[in-house]
């Protein structure tokens, strides 16, 4: 490939060193994929990322997109869903990539090893169901043995907030579902602390009622049973036989109405819509969904004011 001596140098070809002494295919693509998305923003240039030692193009005029990832590793495909990106697609793609790199490091880093060989697993899981972001949130919480998360440094996001943003970046479309369940649940039920099972006590109760119910039970009877179990929980809390506290007064049926609204929303939106009315799907998805509830509560608990039973 030859250029005139006085031509402006606008074509650059460089090799990117791989990570590690004996890098795997995954490790070989981690840095090039990230730089392929970052460099167009930094230098206002088109970028081609390839394993080929020979340039694929002699000029940026030969392709319309801003970034081309030539036969990338499968983790890149899971994260980006395409190997050609226009200029308006780069910022969202960079956010998805960086946030999932963060997730991988959070959960799998050991000392100085970031654990990149797990990245394909992380990307594949999140591509399958965006709620897997919260599966890794729960994995980090178990790894660090945290009930309360450390206070973020100045200008940093809290860990729960970071995972909620990651869910948004990877295209999660059900944040309103998490908010809808959480706001209705914590309107009447107050967790006794930040231990996960305490936060999720009311949510797991209704899940267990649905999962363990007779498939032939009518919708009305199932919802009536769920309301009864939740009312029993709140009654035990009221006489200090169970941990937690009541947020709403008993008088005028205020608490009973809040429980009814929670059960109706959970049954219709989570069980019927999100889980397609299938108990097996609810059983499979509930841990990821519940981890999302946990992250949301850690970030939003202050919006709920404690109200004792009158």
* Residue where a domain terminates, one of 128, 155, 180: 128
Q: Which two tokens stand for residue 114?
A: 């970031």
185 plus 117 within the same structural domain: no
Structure tokens of 216? 């032939």
Quick check: is 270 in a domain?
yes
Structural tokens at position 160 = 């729960």
Q: Give domain status of residue 155, yes or no.
A: no
- 122 with 215, same domain: the answer is no
pLDDT tens string 200-215: 999 999 999 999 999 9
Q: Is residue 251 part of a domain?
A: yes
- Integer Cα distance of 199 and 182 in angstroms: 10
Residue with tokens 């769920």, as numbered in its chain: 226
Residue 190 inside a domain? The answer is yes
Query: Are 124 and 179 contained in the same domain?
Result: no
pLDDT greater than 50 at residue 226: yes
pLDDT tens digits, residue range 120-130?
Answer: 999 999 999 99
Residue 141 lies in a domain: no
Q: pLDDT value at position 305?
A: 63
Residue numbers of the domain that contains 42: 1-128
**Residue 133 located in a structural domain:** no
pLDDT, tens digit (0-9, with 9 covering 90-100), for 24-36? 999 999 999 999 9
Considering the domain architecture, whether residues 190 and 118 belong to the same structural domain is answered as no
124/71 same-domain check? yes
Looking at residue 148, what is its pLDDT?
Answer: 92
Say what the pTM is. 0.91
Domain boundary among 73, 99, 128: 128
SS3 label, residue 170: coil
In a domain, 269, yes or no: yes
pLDDT (average), residues 16-42: 90
Domain-ending residue, one of 128, 160, 185 = 128
Helix (H) or strand (E) holding 87: helix 87-108
Domain co-membership, 111 together with 196? no
The confidence score (pLDDT) of residue 251 equals 84
pLDDT of residue 308: 44
Percent of the chain topping pLDDT 90:
82
State the CB neighbour count (10 A cutoff) for residue 84: 14
In this structure, is residue 273 part of a structural domain? yes
Is residue 115 located within the same domain as residue 175? no
CA distances from 268 to 48, 92, 129, 199, 281 (A): 47, 32, 20, 22, 15
Other Cβ atoms within 10 Å of 286 Cβ, number = 20
Q: Which pLDDT belongs to residue 238?
A: 94
Shared domain for 117 and 241, answered yes or no, is: no
Q: How many domains does the chain have?
A: 2
pLDDT tens digits, residue range 229-274? 999 999 999 999 999 999 998 888 999 999 999 999 999 999 999 9
Same domain, 103 and 52: yes
């Amino acid at each position: 490939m030859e250029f005139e001596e006085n031509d402006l140098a606008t074509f650059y070809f460089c090799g990117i060193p791989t990570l590690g002494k004996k890098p795997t295919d995954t490790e070989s693509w981690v840095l090039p994929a990230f730089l392929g998305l970052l460099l167009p923003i930094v230098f206002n240039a088109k970028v081609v990322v390839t394993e080929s030692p020979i340039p694929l193009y002699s000029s940026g005029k030969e392709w319309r997109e801003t970034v081309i990832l030539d036969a990338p590793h499968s983790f890149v495909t899971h994260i980006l869903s395409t190997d050609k990106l226009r200029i308006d697609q780069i910022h969202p793609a960079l956010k998805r990539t960086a946030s999932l790199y963060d997730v991988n490091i959070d959960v799998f880093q050991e000392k100085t090893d970031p654990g990149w060989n797990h990245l394909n697993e992380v990307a594949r899981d999140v591509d399958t169901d965006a709620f897997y972001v919260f599966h890794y949130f729960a994995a980090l919480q178990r790894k660090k043995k945290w009930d309360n998360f450390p206070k973020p440094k100045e200008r940093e996001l809290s860990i729960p907030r970071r995972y909620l943003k990651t869910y948004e970046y990877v295209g999660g479309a059900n944040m309103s579902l998490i908010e809808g369940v959480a706001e209705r649940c914590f309107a009447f039920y107050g967790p006794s602390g930040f231990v996960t099972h305490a936060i999720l006590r009311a949510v797991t109760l209704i899940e267990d009622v649905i999962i363990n119910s007779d498939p032939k039970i009518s919708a009305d009877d199932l919802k009536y049973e769920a309301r009864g179990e939740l009312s029993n929980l709140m009654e035990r809390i009221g006489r200090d036989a169970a941990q937690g506290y009541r947020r709403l007064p008993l008088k005028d049926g205020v608490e009973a109405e809040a429980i009814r609204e929670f059960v109706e929303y959970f049954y219709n939106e989570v069980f019927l819509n999100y889980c397609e009315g299938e108990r097996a799907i609810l059983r499979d998805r509930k841990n990821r969904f519940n981890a999302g509830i946990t992250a949301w509560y850690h970030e939003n608990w202050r919006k709920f004011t404690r109200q004792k039973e009158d």
